Structure 1
Amino acid sequence: MNISEIHRLNELEEENDRLKRMFADLSLENLILKGKLEKSK
């Protein structure tokens, strides 16, 4: 692999980590909201 491919791979890994954190945050928020809806019934 050349330098530009390594740089691109690092960028993709960083983006993947960011998207995983975003997904985890949204999943947690979704669970919290579902719990609140269940309590209000």
Structure 2
Amino acid sequence: MKKRYSEEQIIKAIKEHEAGAKVDEICRRMGISSGTFYNWRSKYAGMEVNACFG
């Protein structure tokens, strides 16, 4: 089964949430359930994206 989102995209979504974005807003934009988001958060929380965004 192919992953729909890269780790980079997942970590960016988690960072958005940490910065104050609402979970339901992120989920609606990405087309995922809140359960998926919370699973991602428990798996990837505290990880950094190894790329420069600017």
TM-score, normalization: structure 2?
0.29
Structure with more relative contact order (C-alpha pairs < 8 Å, separation 6 or more):
2
Structure number with higher helix proportion? 1
The structure with the largest alpha-carbon Rg is 1
